[in-house]
Structure 1
Amino acid sequence: MVSAVVMGAPQQPLEVRDFPRPELEPGAVLLRTLGSEVCGTDTHLWKGQLAGVPYPIIPGHVSVGVVAEVGAGAEARDVSGRSVEPGQVVTFLDVVGTCGRCWFCTVGHATTRCPQRRVYGVTLSADDGLLGGWSEHIHLGPGAHLIPLPDSLDWRAFLATGCGMPTALHAVTMAEIQFGDTVVVQGSGPVGLCAAVLAQLRGAGRVVVVGGPANRLATATAFGADDVFDIADTTEADRLEAVRELTGGRGADVTIEASGAPVAVPEGMRLTRDAGRYVVVGQYTNVGDATFNPHLDLNQKHLEIRGCWGSDVGHLHRSVQVLDRYARQFPWTELISREYGLPEAQQALEDVLAQRVVKALIVPRH
């Protein structure tokens, strides 16, 4: 039997259940879980803020494991086309079922909008098996997008940024940051912290992080942010004045919203200079409306706004390369505040929800 954490319904206590070890289809992969992140998405799942979730589920959509078994009768291959063998340490794209044939997949080149898209740990039911990372084992069906971790990359270093890194990489790529740009990042959670790091790697001249609480802002500073502003100690007017003082009265060249708070969006528009670029990546779920003035905040400013939702296998693959290449420059594992066993999953969820931690990991075997 295999133990796993089950989220039975929104707002209900998590519980640990036992599942039978699965029989693998040809080409399927069974991972022995090393660890899985606790993401802001998991808190949204627990609060019931995502549509179409087939509760009960096993949470955990970004995970790392050791290949324990490959289903006989067909090879399993990684994203580079190499055969996957037992004993390898791998991660995988949480998205499964993207059809590759619809308009979004073929013409729009926006696979995150494919209507067949499903997500391990989010939109796959525990009634169908071990399809989430908060479990001793994870069952990956044939065709899963597998990415081996380099021997030089600690699996904890990969999970320290979790889905924050590929999501931020997507946003920063869309932001088209130029050398010397002043970049404001709204939000100091994993996506915001990763965006601040990637902005530096893209050549930003100054990186400003707006967020909280203090422990996360301290982490932003430790990871290279030039200025931080705590939303608990400043008003929107204070932050607008400060950013303009830093930029000769203009505002940021690029602003990236990674906070998840709707009220941040109109503020971000105002923090950005005329003819600047604003990328909104934090509004992953529907948590409410925001109000802005179309003339003053958008049209007169000649502002470019880009929406960015989720990430794909290319962003995940590039994230692994970035984390490996810059591991000496950025101590990724310092982002991990605590590791939790399966029976402690409820506490992990509540700690993330209360922002008591920067990054929490579920580690089935301590």
Structure 2
Amino acid sequence: MRPTSTRAAVLREFRAPLEVTELPLPQELPAGSALVRISCTTLCGTDAGLWRGALPFVRLPIVLGHEMVGTVVALGAGAGSDAVGRPVAVGSRVVWSESVCGRCRACTVLREPVLCEHRGYGFGQRADRWPYAVGGLAEYAYLPPGAHRLVVAPEVPDTWAASAGCAVKTVVRAFANAGGVRPGAAVVVQGAGPLGLVATAYARVAGAGRVITLGGPAHRLAVAAAFGADHVIDVTAVTDPDERVAQVEELTEARGADLVLDFAGGPTANREGVLMCAPRGTHVVVGLAGAQAAAVPLDVVLMREVRVVGSLNGDVSDLFLGLRFLSACAGRFEWDALFSPPVGLSGAGRAISETASMAAVQAVVDPGLD
């Protein structure tokens, strides 16, 4: 029998404990939609930022969590295949993208659904309005018609599949927007969270000659080294942004980096990133610098002909490639090093706290554990 409600951990007040409560589930599934039982949700820095209230346009209450994997329990009409044509049925294990409209200029003319004017981020949809449960910190989630889904191969663990839904696909798109990695290039990764660590591995696999990862704390930098970083810079020890730039200059024999990717955000990240670039280097902006962002030195952009590129999340194509990347490199990198032991919904608040404090790289919530 199809469930009529779901337990969910709801954020009703910024920085407050999550409330585990019951939310209604849609009883009539529109064409193209689905209902999924969540088997795993992984948390990233955006979830911690949302909990803190760092994105002021978000309206509460919401169900946090936008990296999840689950098993289909019900399908709307016409929802019997995934984004690459594989059959989807009740019992299929799937991941999915944010919903897109398929009709706006970004979807049709630009063919860039990641820029859809009506893109349905889970954290942009309130938990007190239909369809109520779209976030990952719940037993069940509603997949809108425009949320393209992919069937997950049996050998891919739940944690890997869930993380692909944001962290991995965002990295894939960032490298694509940068134009890839030239063989032997010097690559700087700003940030040692889930995105920065995956990016470190991606840069190594893509043929970088030298990979430098900046971030912290120490246990995350240890993972960065295991994922292929030739050098790590602990930003909790090297607190002066100009000193970090100087260290990158020294590590690149005064040439600078060919590619710098900001997965950290933070007020000085983009200024540092541009200053770390070699002549004709590329700086990719993924992290949110915030209202107190330091000015980007446009004279350096001009005189070095630095290319500054924005990269926003990822779409279903990046999700597909992200899953393939994780599987292809399963024997090369210990992906499980990214994930903390799972907790149930009752522990979701603690998981958010550990994400915010950076005690966890990726906290994991398995609703079935309660």
- TM-score of the superposition, structure 2-length normalised? 0.92
2 CA distance for matches of 1:58 and 1:226? 39
Distance 1:108 1:43, change over 3 A: same
Question: The residue matched to 1:323 in structure 2 has which SS?
Answer: helix
Residue 180 of structure 1 is matched in structure 2 by 184
Aligned length: 360
One of 196, 203, 219 as aligned partner of 1:199: 203
2 CA distance for matches of 1:323 and 1:236? 33
Question: The residue matched to 2:340 in structure 1 has which SS?
Answer: strand
How far off is 1:359 after superposition? 0.8
- The answer (yes or no) to whether the contact 1:167–1:315 under 8 Å persists in 2 is yes
Q: Deviations over 1:190-247 (max 9, x none)?
A: 1111111111121111110011111110110111111101012223343333322332
In the alignment, structure 1 residue 352 sits paired with structure 2 residue 355 = yes
**Counterpart of 2:285 in structure 1: which amino acid?**
V
How far off is 1:187 after superposition? 0.6
2 CA distance for matches of 1:342 and 1:278? 39
1 CA distance for matches of 2:296 and 2:56? 26
In the alignment, structure 1 residue 66 sits paired with structure 2 residue 71 = yes
Unaligned runs of 5+ in 2: none
Q: Deviations over 1:30-69 (max 9, x none)?
A: 2111111112111222222224423211111111011122
Q: Deviations over 1:248-303 (max 9, x none)?
A: 211111111111112111111111111111111112x73432124322x2211211
**Counterpart of 1:260 in structure 2: which amino acid?**
G
One of 267, 284, 304 as aligned partner of 1:262: 267
**Counterpart of 2:168 in structure 1: which amino acid?**
M
Residue 328 of structure 1 is matched in structure 2 by 331
- The answer (yes or no) to whether the contact 2:41–2:159 under 8 Å persists in 1 is no
Question: The residue matched to 1:253 in structure 2 has which SS?
Answer: strand
- The answer (yes or no) to whether the contact 2:265–2:290 under 8 Å persists in 1 is no
Residue 102 of structure 2 is matched in structure 1 by 100
Residue 309 of structure 1 is matched in structure 2 by 312
- The answer (yes or no) to whether the contact 1:24–1:30 under 8 Å persists in 2 is no
Residue 83 of structure 2 is matched in structure 1 by 79
2 CA distance for matches of 1:342 and 1:118? 24
Unaligned runs of 5+ in 1: none
Residue 111 of structure 1 is matched in structure 2 by 113
2 CA distance for matches of 1:59 and 1:344? 13
Distance 1:219 1:104, change over 3 A: same
1 CA distance for matches of 2:80 and 2:64? 24
- The answer (yes or no) to whether the contact 1:24–1:70 under 8 Å persists in 2 is no
How far off is 1:160 after superposition? 4.8
Residue 57 of structure 1 is matched in structure 2 by 62
Distance 1:91 1:291, change over 3 A: same
- Tell which deviates more after alignment, 124-133 or 265-274: 124-133
Residue 123 of structure 1 is matched in structure 2 by 124
One of 5, 8, 11 as aligned partner of 1:7: 11
2 CA distance for matches of 1:18 and 1:197? 40
One of 276, 284, 296 as aligned partner of 1:271: 276
Residue 248 of structure 2 is matched in structure 1 by 243
2 CA distance for matches of 1:162 and 1:112? 13
Question: The residue matched to 1:147 in structure 2 has which SS?
Answer: strand
**Counterpart of 2:315 in structure 1: which amino acid?**
D
CA RMSD of aligned residues (A): 1.8
Q: Deviations over 1:88-112 (max 9, x none)?
A: 111111x11x222322223333333
Question: The residue matched to 1:339 in structure 2 has which SS?
Answer: coil
**Counterpart of 1:356 in structure 2: which amino acid?**
A
2 CA distance for matches of 1:322 and 1:332? 11
How far off is 1:6 after superposition? 0.6
2 CA distance for matches of 1:113 and 1:161? 19
- TM-score of the superposition, structure 1-length normalised? 0.93
1 CA distance for matches of 2:308 and 2:146? 35
1 CA distance for matches of 2:211 and 2:263? 14
In the alignment, structure 1 residue 365 sits paired with structure 2 residue 368 = yes
**Counterpart of 1:23 in structure 2: which amino acid?**
Q
1 CA distance for matches of 2:111 and 2:165? 24
- The answer (yes or no) to whether the contact 2:164–2:319 under 8 Å persists in 1 is no
- The answer (yes or no) to whether the contact 2:226–2:333 under 8 Å persists in 1 is no
Residue 223 of structure 1 is matched in structure 2 by 227
1:148-163 alignment, distance < 5 Å:
148-160=151-163, 163=166
**Percent same amino acid at aligned positions?**
35
- Tell which deviates more after alignment, 17-26 or 77-86: 17-26
Residue 322 of structure 2 is matched in structure 1 by 319
Distance 1:76 1:31, change over 3 A: same
1 CA distance for matches of 2:305 and 2:38? 49
- The answer (yes or no) to whether the contact 2:24–2:133 under 8 Å persists in 1 is no
